[in-house]
Chains A and B, each alone.
Chain A
Amino acid sequence: MAVETPAAKPEGPPAPEEVRVGVYVCHCGLNIAGTVDCPAVARFAGTLPNVVRAVDNRYMCSDPGQEMLKKEIKEHRLNRVVVASCTPRLHEPTFRSAAEAAGLNRYLVEMANIREHCSWVHLREKEDATEKAKDLVRMAVSRASLLREQAEKTVPVRRSTLVIGGGVAGIQAALDLANAGYHVPLVERQPSIGGRMAQIDKTFPTMDCSICILAPKMSEAGRHKDIEILTNSEVAAVQGYVGNFTVTVHRTPRYVTKACTACGDCARACPVVAPNEFDMGLAARKAIYTPFAQAVPSTYSIDRNLCLNKGHVIACERCVEACQPKCIDWGQQPEDLQVEVGTIVVATGAGTFDPARLEEFGYRRLPDVITTLEFERLINAGGPTRGHLVRLSDHQEPKRVAFVQCVGSRDLRRGNPYCSNICCMETVKDALLIKEHWPDVAIDVYYMDIRAFGKGFEDLYRRAREEGVRFIRGIPGEVTPNGDGSLRLVGENTLLQERYREDYGMVILSIGLEPQADATTVQRVLTLSRSADGFFMEAHPKLQPVDTPTKGIFLAGTAESPKDIRDSVTQACAAASRANILMARGEISVEAITALVHDESCTGCGLCVKVCPYNAIRMEGEGKGRKARVIEAACAGCGTCGAECMFDAIEMRHFTDAQVYAQIDAATAEHADRKVVTFACNWCSYAGADFAGVSRMQYPPNIRIIRTMCSGRVSPRFVRYAFSRGAAAVLVSGCHLKDCHYINANSQTQRRMERLAEELKRKKIDPRRLRLEWFTAAEGQKFANTIKEMREVVVSVTTDEIQRGVAAYRGRLDGR
């Protein structure tokens, strides 16, 4: 059921005499005051329209500072507050809370960033920094004058969570949530839950038997009255929004009923043999099978791709004949289940790097070159060799074993650029396992770095060395077969500065993790973002490590990035907790920055629907009555629809067009020909500019930043208006294309700016005056360099050129 915003009457800005702005210029000790003349800025602020109080203060964010603010609001009957201090990304919540405590609506607070964007980056240009601070305050006051009170809406939330993925992370999240009283459907595409943890033999650093510690959790999940395990199932579609998701789960039938006792008679009778995926292809299974002994559910499953029976033609019934409880049912059909949940936890796990991509290691060409995952199956007592370590070529025990680290990881050219987290400890553990059973086997580990960073890891690494495992620093350049069946590794021992040529009976490649092959599908179905490494992106790497940018959807386990079991479980507990917070009260409030459609202006063209990354807008009605409707709970407030609408029918709450124009006006009030009007998105580029400030990277003081939630908010109209005001240049910035906080809204920015660039060319305006640039929150240096380059543009742009821009767009407030 959609939660809609009723059509609103357009309300203009409050009448000027009603607005009473208080401006507070913070010294931040010497951080700001050491560069910017704060008293002068405060005096200047006092001269601006609507400002009734302008004061400077040493530390606004401190308790005394906040108390002062509250007092000021009450004493001077302020109805708008501007705090000129640090970045809003740090203290906006602080000042909003203080204002609220004084009885002022939290949305009536504006900040001017005169620290990260001013005093810290113009340390040696005090006069220019002070002038810039004045401009930033002027911009903030203009915007503040147009801010309106906002009320946050509440939306009901269903008390159930869909967990996607039945590995240890998914199982843990499901158990935590079910134990908290929520209903949890758990979707797993394999016939059994358990995932990777079920495949490995022992866990580091405790050397616990992996399946032994996992199986009880699997059983508990299988028995739990509030967990509905849906194996052989995949999520096909997700509709709705936080609190109200409707998920279509596609179930492939097992053709075996719940009456199955897992006796295995059917498998013994089945004539079809195939490699068992669970054993990495090193052992066989039948067409009717259970992937491993401790499978949950234990019900067998028929792989119809392998089974001799196709469609309705039943030619072979050996399993049916062998089955005593008579639980094989050819009549089962695939079905699509509709599941209604309030939150979703994505725990879809990771794939592994295929080392055949690095031909020098001979994987698949040479049978005695195996991966660490294949090793886990070999050494496992339940595996294909009953736990005996033997060479695949001749089933002999190897006397010398080599491990090669970083296979497919930390490789910019032919592998994945990131470190896969677990491979060092995986190898240390494997080496100890070998030594435990066959103490005379010589083990050499070829590495670049050994990362034993976690609790107990260094101890395990020490134990391995104590047992005589040699660590040789130098990755081999090739693995070649010798005539006698052994394998030769050639490389440079970088610590001894000598070449080595060593022979082994077995070479084990420590492969890295990578995103699952179907990550793109999952991403699309759930509207997730992926980070540069291809794993699913969290909302914030430090402060929101298990949230996704999509409200109501959380991440756990290796789906988010490579990690070990402990961290997967930790994240699963965290995701469960985050989901719990959303669902506990039965309702959530939505930040009041959402889109609002003004029916009387809406022509029903539908362009807004096309650009919304969240499918949060729907067209309703027919003919002249066809209007866009925003589903407020699904709206993330990116503003892309607002920028797309050609009829001014969409108002972006708290980031209105009028407010943006007011900021542009303020920024270009004086010496516009020296200024670069800069749009920066809240999540990446504004943060990148903050980072440049924190790192004290110095750059020229020409830019004036206007913050929007997303670069998709930046309409070409804003850019044209800036030119019409005589700005030297405009810089539009946002997240890198794959990293948009609002999934893909920045692709609209790119499209619009490219078209605008064409338009500028037609109007013979210097194309360097409009620049589109993407920054991550960490690219402070790139930000600073870009501003330096823009300064060259500012300095070289002639008065004629400025006038050309003014003339081209003069008098067109709407830029159409």
Chain B
Amino acid sequence: MEILREARAFQCYSCGKCTAVCPVAAVDESLSPRRTVERGMAGADLYQEELVWSCVTCKACSYVCPEDVDFPGFVRSLREGMLEAGRPPDYTHGEIMQAIPRLLANRGLTPKRYDWVDRSKVSEDGKVALFLGCGPYLDTVFGYLGGGHIEIAKAAVDILNRLGIKPRILEAEACCGHDLLWTGETGTFEKLRARNQANLSSAGIEKIVFTCPECYATLKEKYKLPGIQLVHLSEVVSAAMGDGGTAALAFAPIAGRVTYQDPCRLGRHLGVVGPPRQVLDAIPDLKRAEMAHSGGLSRCCGISAWIQCNATAKRMQLERVREAREVADTLITNCPKCLVHFKCVLREEGKDVPLRVEDWTVLVARSLSGGDARDGG
């Protein structure tokens, strides 16, 4: 009952718009956010609802909901009860992506994951930090996809250097806890949050720059970090462009037909839709088109929090890469998970879709360091 009330579920008009835009309902017609809410209000046992785990929490429903019902929040609260009721999700990849943050929370370990960092490019005591997130783990776990996550981190450092910033890389940084938060392990998440809040607040930093939208959203919406400004790398770059700092930001041409995938957390959860596009549009020779579903109506990459990788998820991913192919040769992702998921589907189910995937940060860094000319392209 409380969960329903907090999510404003009682205000639901039952208009059906949520189901109409839900990417999961689009491929699995037995699922419907609206029906789940209605059944909940009618007193059904919501812990039997499949949608509780199948929801990808992308907030497409919230975007169109006329009564501002918080369906993802609703689902998140229910997931705590699902675990207590002994109905866990289908964890993927041997549950490793949950094991890591659990270890970080419960064992207070400090992993050595920064060996690749070029110490000359970062600072030990600056006021601007770069939050790295899971990058190093993703390269290991998803090595078969060709990595690319440490590359994102390096590219981010490079871009910041060009803007005159030597970011801090915090050894004590622990996982932001997003995946635990969204799979019902709220207690463990709170431990991670406490640890991060303590370390970040006492590190003397004033600004944290993110490449990962999920870390960004988690810290912005769930953490208390007084006096610290949180910002995405695309916002930093686009602001620098606006300041007339184009001398420092000389974008070299990169030829290509691209389209931009709005990450759920960056686009709909946080409203950062313009800056990544503004930066892409500043790169000469780069032709950018929008997919049929973009901006507020953008479609999710199919999986959230490393659970429920199944036929439904694969179909969502397949439809999305096909949508991208209609308008571009390269899909630009701006989230480490989107990168993994699209590369994965293109290897198997989407083998016949001639689409490349590249990360936004890596592309922008490429352009700033010579672009096609440098790569001999």
Contacts and interface: CB of A to CB of B under 8 A. Distances in A.
A477 B29 contact: no
A494 B16 contact: yes
A403 to B, nearest CB: 15
Interface string A484-499: 0000001111100111
* Interface hub of B21, B29, B35 (most chain A Cβ within 10 A): B21
A491 B66 contact: no
Interface string B21-53: 100011001001011000000000000000000
Contacts of A414: 64
29 contacts: A360-B64, A360-B297, A406-B15, A411-B66, A412-B66, A413-B66, A448-B13, A448-B14, A448-B15, A448-B66, A474-B16, A474-B20, A476-B17, A477-B19, A477-B21, A477-B64, A478-B297, A480-B292, A490-B26, A492-B20, A492-B32, A493-B16, A494-B14, A494-B15, A497-B32, A498-B29, A499-B19, A499-B20, A499-B25
A178 B13 CA distance: 47
A493 B19 CA distance: 10
Contacts of A264: none
Q: How large is the interface on A (under 10, 10 to 19, 20 to 34, 35 or more residues)?
A: 20 to 34
Given A359-B296, A499-B29, A491 B17 contact: yes
Nearest to B297: A360
Given A448-B66, A477-B21, A492-B20, 19 more contacts: A360-B297, A413-B65, A473-B16, A474-B15, A474-B19, A475-B15, A476-B17, A477-B17, A478-B297, A490-B20, A490-B26, A491-B19, A491-B20, A494-B14, A494-B19, A497-B35, A498-B29, A499-B20, A499-B29
B67 interface: yes
A477 B293 CA distance: 11
A98 to B, nearest CB: 47
* Interface hub of B32, B63, B66 (most chain A Cβ within 10 A): B66
A477 to B, nearest CB: 3
A490 B18 CA distance: 11
B68 interface: yes
A156 interface: no
A71 to B, nearest CB: 54
A491 B21 CA distance: 7
Interface in A465-515: 473-478, 480, 490-494, 497-499
A415 interface: yes
* Interface hub of B20, B29, B32 (most chain A Cβ within 10 A): B20
Contacts of B29: 498-499
B295 interface: yes
**9 closest pairs, A vs B, by CB?**
A477-B20, A474-B16, A492-B19, A492-B16, A491-B20, A411-B66, A477-B21, A448-B15, A494-B16
A412 B13 contact: no
A497 B29 CA distance: 9
A410 interface: yes
A476 B65 contact: no
Contacts of B14: 448, 473, 494
Nearest to A474: B16
Contacts of B32: 492, 497
B67 A412 contact: yes
Contacts of A475: 15-17, 20
Nearest to A489: B20
Interface string A147-158: 000000000000
A498 B29 CA distance: 7
A410 B64 CA distance: 12
Nearest to A494: B16
* Interface hub of B16, B62, B66, B293 (most chain A Cβ within 10 A): B16
A474 B19 CA distance: 9
Contacts of A494: 14-16, 19, 34
A497 B35 CA distance: 8
A413 B17 CA distance: 13
Nearest to A405: B15
Interface in A353-376: 359-360
Contacts of A410: 13, 66
* Interface hub of A449, A478, A492, A493 (most chain B Cβ within 10 A): A492
A414 B62 CA distance: 11
Nearest to B15: A448
A444 to B, nearest CB: 14
Contact of A476 (B20, B34, B297): B20
A413 B68 contact: yes
Contact of A406 (B26, B65, B66): B66
Given A406-B66, A412-B66, A498-B29, A360 B15 contact: no
* Interface hub of A476, A494, A497 (most chain B Cβ within 10 A): A494
